[in-house]
Amino acid sequence: MGKGKDINYRKITYRYQLFKDLMDHIPDVIYFKDRKGRLTMVNQAHAKGLGLKPEQVAGKTDFDFFPRKRAEKMARDDFYVMNTGKPIIDKVERATRPDGVDNYVSTTKIPRYDENGRVIGLVGITRDITQRMQLKYLEDNQAHIKKKLEALEELNKLKSEFVSAVSHELRTPLAIIKDSVGL
């Protein structure tokens, strides 16, 4: 092998290893689909979530793993991306994993192009954001409770002022009645 070819081969091998490291170790679900919605490649996290190995997922569609309604929704998004060439970025939705666990996910889907600029499929990344959504819910709930507490404090202040004013106004007539009774 010539020196130029050897350097080029090492660059390709290095890039492949970087890609493999990403696909094997990132916790997010990463997948590639063709124009028909078939999974052509998935990472370890995606396959693990399905209880399979990546090579067992290749060639299948979402309909092979998810309930029909969920798979139809995913397919609509896929075909939107592939037919318009427009990505879907950070679509947050509630989902049910194949193992039955409910969670929240953020999904990004971008079109894949061939060398002639035609859309040939898509690349998708899905991240479990359940903890982020739970934290947001707690923060929203805390703000709601804080507003209610402030309103109750204001009502308590108004009540105290009212009782003070009423007791002041009743003191004088009661003193006159007391003196009259004493006579």
pTM of the model: 0.68
Give the list of residues 6+ apart from residue 42 with CB closer than 8 angstroms, or none. Answer: 29, 30, 31, 32, 54, 57, 58
Q: What is the pLDDT of residue 74?
A: 94
> pLDDT tier at 4 (50, 70, 90 boundaries)?
low
pLDDT at 114: 96
- Per-residue model confidence (pLDDT) at position 2: 61
